[in-house]
Structure 1
Amino acid sequence: MLGFFLFIIVALFAQNHDLEDQKSFRLFMRVHNIGLPLVALTMTVRGVTQVLDMDLSRGLNASISGVAGISHILVAIEIISLLLALKKVVKD
């Protein structure tokens, strides 16, 4: 639901401004297409391992957590770059 509203807001800004020309918006789109599926994948992997009560080695458990952490950092970069792009478009 949140992602739906996010792109509605982006569409409204893109309709009235040159949002696609902003460097930070292009960064947002690239990172969004990498980070969001990675978050979904790591959540799925973590959920499946917990539901099936799989015994994971410490290394595998740490690697799943590490990839999830990196993907959440990518989502944070994505949100920051979108907000910077929107700020720049509104200012101009």
Structure 2
Amino acid sequence: MSKKIGCGGVFYREFTKLNGFTGFTTLSVVHTHYLMLGMLFFLMLVLLENNFHFIGNKVTKYLLFYHIGLNLTAIMFVVRGIVQVLSLDVSSAAISGIAGIGHLILGISMVLVLISIRKCIKD
């Protein structure tokens, strides 16, 4: 297993080791999701902003919702992972429902940002 950097990776590695867990858990994907959706997405936005200057009040609101969706999704990854590692008897439907809301917020806000970029490029 490769070493992971960051809070998500450290928590995954140490929490599973402490509990003697060797199976798959969603804790293993928290770090990569945050890396891709939290860092690389915004690095691409910086490059696009540099060329097209599309960020205004509307896009700032979309990005706020993007952060809310990203964090809600990541929190539910952690919750589901802890439930998996500890083998807790918790409703999977409730976790999936809240995670689904996070995904919806994330997806809708990402589409709105991309539409804003497209409008700016056309102008």
**Alignment TM-score, normalising by the size of structure 2:** 0.64
Larger RCO (CA within 8 A; separation ≥ 6) = 1
C-alpha separation between the residues in 2 aligned to 1:22 and 1:87?
Answer: 16
1:54 pairs with 88, 96, 117, which one?
Answer: 88
| Contact 2:67-2:106 at 8 Å conserved across structures | no
Aligned length: 88
**Alignment TM-score, normalising by the size of structure 1:** 0.83
Q: For 1:88, give the aligned amino acid.
A: K
Query: Which of the two has greater helix per residue?
Result: 1
| Structure 1 runs of 4+ with >2 Å offset | 1-5
Q: C-alpha root-mean-square deviation of aligned residues, in Å?
A: 1.6
Matched residue, 2:25: none
Identity of aligned residues (%): 33
Unaligned runs of 5+ in 2: 1-34
Unaligned runs of 5+ in 1: none
C-alpha separation between the residues in 2 aligned to 1:14 and 1:51?
Answer: 42
